[in-house]
Amino acid sequence: MRATRSEALRWHWYSSSGNMRSHEVEAADPLAIIMKVTVTIDLTVSALKKHRRQMRMAASLLTDAKKSVRVSQPAGKPKRLKVSFSVPKARQADVVDHIARQFWYWIEDYGTISVGFEPELVRTRRSRKS
């Protein structure tokens, strides 16, 4: 699943039946809708710097906006890491498995995963006339 930016955001993924699916959002659309994804991973060991880098890498490969990637560690949870990032709007059921597999592939000491979605409206800024 890779988002490419040209005149449109296009996201490709494979459904559970193995068929390639895609979704496209016009980049010029001033009210383009994206989804905010939050992935929480419980590791089998205490989180290290390498785990944070791996979380950022996995999210960076899935996002359409690298600056949207945020990695955090909840207070009092040494084995838990969270990452949030944006992706083009798509049917959640079509992309959740791919997101989980991407993190399973990149994260060492992977224990359990939780993937959550939240719609987010993005508006392009318009310049003010002087």
Residue 1, in any domain of the structure: no
Decide if 96 contacts 1 (C-beta within 8 A): no
H/E run at residue 6: none
- Average model confidence (pLDDT) for the chain? 79
The CATH number linked to 91 is 3.30.70.100
- pLDDT > 70 in the chain, percent: 66
Decide if 90 contacts 84 (C-beta within 8 A): no
Q: Which tens digits make up the pLDDT trace of 67-118?
A: 999 999 999 999 999 999 998 888 888 889 999 999 999 999 999 999 999 8
The residue written with tokens 């390498």 in the block is 50
Residue 43, in any domain of the structure: yes
Residue 26 pLDDT: 47
Side-chain-side CA neighbours of residue 19 (13 Å): 4
The domain in which residue 103 lies consists of: 33-121
Query: Higher-confidence residue: 56 or 31?
Result: 56
Q: How many domains does the chain have?
A: 1
Residue 22 pLDDT: 59
Residue 7, in any domain of the structure: no
